[in-house]
Structure 1
Amino acid sequence: WLLSAKSEEALRDQARQLHAYTIGHPDVPAERIAASLAARARFDHRAVVDTTDRTTLLTNLTALADGTEAPGLTTGTVTPGRTAFLFTGQGSQRLGMGRELHEAHPVFAAAFDEVTELFDPLLDRPLRTVMWGQDADLLNRTQYTQPALFALQTALYRTLEHDGLTPHVLIGHSIGEIAAAHVAGVLSLPDAVALVAARGRLMQAARTDGTMIALQATEDEVLPLLTAGIDIAALNAPGSLVVSGDAAEAVALQERLGAEGRRTTRLTVSHAFHSAHMDGVLDDFRQAIDHLTYNPPKIPVISNVTGLPATGDELTTPAYWAEHIRRAVRFHPGIQHLETEGVTRYLELGPDATLTTLTQQTVRAGAVVTAALRKTSPEPLAFATAVARLHTGGHSPSAWRRGHTPAHPDGLPTYPFQRSHFWLAPQRSGTDVTAAGLTAADHALLGAAVTLADTDQLVLTGRISLRTHPWLADHTIAGTTL
């Protein structure tokens, strides 16, 4: 159920009215009410109630009316700006990723099956059995990790695209940029699969005597401390980066910064990615992808190499994708650029909220940052909540807009107007004779008493109105002549 209003008070009133209507009309299907609500005008204060259980529906409406939270209830206010899709990099993978959504969503299942079937001839075992098996070490091998992430991200994007939810701009993190390039039209699906399979296979074959360490530091602080054997591998968030390369030199840098009280973490990886340890596979990778067809992007893609929008010439050359393996992932500068370009909504496509956390550390408060899947939540619920979060933030799936207005159920509450009255009130004037300094009469209705100069007669003055004498509303004045 899609609810919206021009104020938070009106949104709560709408929830109360719909709650009462639902209880009073148990024969009206919830789906019919949902169709009617979807056809209404959409205002900036929004809520989505997503459930098939009537009891939960009523509970969520109550929570909305009370201003509290509930599972299946998403609220928000429209944020002007653009929308970016984020594609997660290696390290976010988990066993079983995509299986629940595959069972629940036919569009996702079809897209996922198409991608995995293209990978299977290029791998030594079916990709799905690796992703949904029990061997985490096997999934964590680069030759399988990268195809698995690409398959999941592509299927997520195609599902959103089917519902009419597309971004203004794309950004990935390492392997994620290849998924971004594919959905932007740079590579066809078969060519993208070939590139990812070659990338994963060759990066897996690179030397294994290196390490990667996450450090609490800025690029400017670390650059002077780098030695010949280590490189900056990723700029992830403000004051958060990763160095990669020879283990001894990387650990020495870790110990130096740790002694200063900086947070440091040695990553559990098999290779020193995005460092000189990748140099031995770059020529083979360029040759492996030289025959592929590249096209200019139809959706802007932020480059990991520069942190700026990639040009068509960059994305359409094998040399760029080889350099992409070797150079640092400039994710943080990329998010900074998106913010300067008016992006205010960010949706991460991947197994968890990895980039969501990094992005939240970079962007200003008020931005909508959410993830399509979360390892702590059932996949269908996480996916639906993410789409609802984008809708309440101002970017709605076109499939949620109806082509015609359905017949409204009888008595369905309309907009809960928050009425205010603005009658003009007469101004109090100083026309009573007391304003001239005359003696006030000690009387409830008389303003002053004036004795005429040439007689003993009196002139009595006063003013009577419900504004100045509200008690008159309950009294009657009879037979009085002034």
Structure 2
Amino acid sequence: SGLSVDDTGVAQVALFAFEVALFRLWVSWGVRVDCVGGHSVGEVVAAFVAGVLSLEDACRLVVARGRLMQGLALGGVMVAVEASEEEVLPLLGGGVSLAAVNGPSSVVLSGVEGVVDEVVGVFVGRGRRSKRLVVSHAFHSVLMEPMLEEFRGVVEGLVFREPVLGLVVGGDVCDPGFWVSHVREPVRFLETVRLMEGRGVSGFVEVGPDAVLSVMGPACVVGGVDEVVFVPSVVRGRDEVRGVVGALGGLWVRGFDVDWGAVFEGLGVTGGAGSGGAGGGVVDLPTYPFERRRYWLEPGGSGDVGVSGQVGAGHPLL
């Protein structure tokens, strides 16, 4: 067919399908979702699972978004830079845009290669780290503008509803104009995390194909990292089933509810104590009562053996 998952027109649709499926899997396992947010196309996923769009309309949006981006001229770069938004703002314009704010000192610049490299060079000269991202286009930049009007025609034909689930996205999700500007404007992941934290969210589950947001997340929280947990569902290069079950365990030990019966049934696990022949069993631990008595060997004392009528050994080690 000539299609490749590296093509943004394919990649965006694949990401949408993967993330929606993974979200539904977590919900089927009894994990209560209070609030959702996302990063770039992940915000479309968040809007769908929150009830803003029907599945058909969400797919129309994602397909059109990817197709129109794929149709843009190749070129442009995206570079992650160790800098704050305030530091880079005076240097924007003229072909370089702020594509993402991923942390207090983590941004992504996007746009025309030469101009972006020039701005990045300013921070590299200050000893800051930078990394060029492997992308086909300069997303969330001025180079996206040629697709916006055609995309607007698609989005204005969709039906938007008020979310039925807590949704943190930086704008009016029921306004078609928001989704058009979303292509061009920066992703504000830092703001998303802090808004969620402010709503009392203490457990973040990443439903993407790799541990990306869960790595950036801890730097975004205002409270201590011990108070908030970021759990990736999947880590690239690792067994996916083991990974997602490990993620469930990570939430469980921190006090989050999990329907283990549904988990075991979904994984095809049978037998187990108290399971009735299906699913897993719950084992009470410890399996014996602690006596709560101490039996430590106490060190012996020292004294003069002469008082008992004995003769000392006279050896320095005795």
Q: TM-score category by the smaller chain?
A: 0.7 to 0.9
**Secondary structure in 2 aligned to 1:393?**
coil
Number of the residue aligned with 1:375: 236
> Of residues 188, 194, 202 in structure 2, which corresponds to 1:330?
188
CA distance in 2, matches of 1:146, 1:272: 15
- Gapped regions of structure 1 (runs ≥ 5): 1-123, 131-137, 422-482
> For residues 400 and 225 of structure 1, what CA distance do their matches in structure 2 show?
55
Out of 104, 108, 124, the position equivalent to 1:238 is: 104
Q: Which moved more, 1:237-246 or 1:362-371?
A: 362-371
CA distance in 1, matches of 2:285, 2:131: 56
2:206 is the counterpart of 1:340: no
Cα distance in 2, alignment partners of residues 159 and 375 from structure 1: 18
Q: Deviations over 1:269-314 (max 9, x none)?
A: 12111111111111111111222221111111111xx3xxx5xxx1
Alignment of 1:38-187 (within 5 A): 138-187=4-53
Deviation at 1:257, TM superposition (A): 1.3
Counterpart residue identity of residue 237, structure 2: T
Q: Are 2:155 and 2:180, in contact at CA under 8 Å, matched by a contact in 1?
A: no
Question: Deviation per CA, 1:135-179, whole angstroms, max 9, x where unpaired?
Answer: xxx211110010011111111111122222231111100000111
CA contact (8 A) 1:373 1:382 kept: yes
3-state secondary structure, aligned to 2:37: strand
Say yes or no: does 1:258 pair with 2:124: yes
Check whether the contact 2:140–2:183 (CA below 8 A) recurs between aligned residues.
Answer: yes
- Structure 2's unaligned 5+ residue stretches are 263-272, 294-318
Q: 1:236 aligns to what SS in structure 2? A: strand
Residue correspondences, number: 276
> Normalising by the residue count of structure 2, what TM-score does the alignment of the two structures yield?
0.80
Which of 250, 255, 263 is matched with 1:394 structurally? Answer: 255
Amino acid at match of 2:128: R
Q: Which string of whole-angstrom CA distances, capped at 9 and with x for unpartnered residues, describes residues 372-408 of structure 1?
A: 111132111111111121111122224549xxx9599
TM-score normalised by L of structure 1: 0.54
Q: Which residue of 2 aligns with 1:281?
A: 147
Please name the residue that 1:385 is paired with. 246
Give, in whole Å, the separation in 1 of the partners of 2:75 and 2:188: 24
Q: 1:415 Cα shift? A: 7.2
Q: Which residue of 2 aligns with 1:81?
A: none
Equivalent residue for 1:200? Answer: 66
Residue 295 of structure 1 corresponds to 161
Superposed displacement of residue 344, structure 1: 1.2
Q: Which amino acid letter does the alignment assign opposite residue 269 of structure 1?
A: V
User: Where in structure 2 are the equivalents of 1:296-315 lying within 5 Å?
Assistant: 296-303=162-169, 306=170, 310=171, 314-315=172-173
Residue 253 of structure 2 aligns to a residue whose secondary structure is helix
Instruction: Report how far residue 362 of structure 1 moved.
Output: 2.3
CA distance in 2, matches of 1:258, 1:357: 22
Give the equivalent residue in structure 2 for 1:358.
216
> Paired residue for 1:317?
175
Structure number with bigger Rg? 1
Q: Secondary structure at the match of 1:172?
A: coil
**How big is each residue's C-alpha offset from its partner over 1:71-116, in whole Å with a ceiling of 9 and x where there is no partner?**
xxxxxxxxxxxxxxxxxxxxxxxxxxxxxxxxxxxxxxxxxxxxxx
In 1, Cα distance between the equivalents of 2:114 and 2:275? 72
AA in 2 matched with 1:239? S
Which residue matches 2:315? none
Residue pair 1:232, 1:242 contacting (<8 A) in 2 also: yes
Preserved CA contact (<8 Å) 1:207 1:278: no
Q: Deviations over 1:206-233 (max 9, x none)?
A: 2333211111100111111223221110
